[in-house]
Structure 1
């Protein structure tokens, strides 16, 4: 397998696992909404981190780094939701 193909596959796999990591916040959000509040700091920091990575990916030249953008965009939404529902 050549390097370009390997990096493409690696980017897809990394993006999928990152998305799954942030989608897993759904159970945290459900617990928060049911009254078993969790700590809001970790999901807030994750949302900030993901916002920075999405910004980096969108501003990368000469072209947008879509694997970084796609992998981190759900972290903004789910991280903020987990943080807000924990308050």
Structure 2
């Protein structure tokens, strides 16, 4: 007999607030991570280009997470908010490293 897995999404209301707080904290930390590209962008513009591979990977990662968060049946705003800055900052880091 196959047992059904318990549904976690939208489940227990007592976990809703702590999970929402974790989502907000994770969003802030993600934005901080992508803001850390600014020194690399500045170095790239100053003629000391960094490796473009990681920012390119981050760009696609953020792009796909943003699409996922926007097009879910119920939009996942913490995922969207966490990844939109990464799209722009990773693209800037990549482009300034290459050009």
Larger radius of gyration: 2
Count of residues in correspondence between the two structures: 85
Normalized per residue, which structure has more helix? 1
Q: Is there any run of 5+ residues in structure 1 with no aligned partner, and where?
A: none
Dislocated runs of 4+, deviation >4 Å: none
Length-normalised TM-score, structure 1: 0.95
Partner in structure 2 of residue 29 of structure 1: 41
Q: Find the aligned partners of 2:95 and 2:51 in 1 and give their Cα distance.
A: 10
Length-normalised TM-score, structure 2: 0.84
Q: Is there any run of 5+ residues in structure 2 with no aligned partner, and where?
A: 1-13
The CA RMSD measured in Å over matched residues stands at 0.6
The structure showing larger relative contact order (alpha-carbon pairs under 8 Å, at least 6 residues apart) is: 1
